[in-house]
Amino acid sequence: MNDLDLRDLVLEELEVTPDINAASIGVTVQDGVVKLEGKVHLLREREVVERAAWSVPGVSKVEDYLLIA
């Protein structure tokens, strides 16, 4: 699976995951490594976003640069 397809799958997963404002999350993928950027409101939301990214088959690593604001 290429990085663009993987990015699309991660974004789709974020869209369907409850308690996530997917519009505030930026996702980039390079060589199977997902980089998450943006703002979340709570630590719990940050954890949910990271878990959602890990749930996508083909993700080899998740780098979490989300800010709690």
The total number of residues written for the chain in this structure: 69
pLDDT tens by residue, the chain, 69 residues: 899 999 999 999 999 998 888 999 999 999 999 999 999 999 999 999 999 999 999 999 999 999 998
CATH assignment of 3-68, given 2.102.10.10, 3.30.1340.30, 3.40.50.300, 1.25.40.10? 3.30.1340.30
Quote the pLDDT of residue 14. 95
What is d(CA 3, CA 47) in angstroms, rounded to the nearest whole number? 23
Quote the pLDDT of residue 1. 82
Domain residue ranges in the chain: 3-68
Asked if residue 39 lies in contact with residue 69, where contact means CB atoms within 8 angstroms, the answer is yes
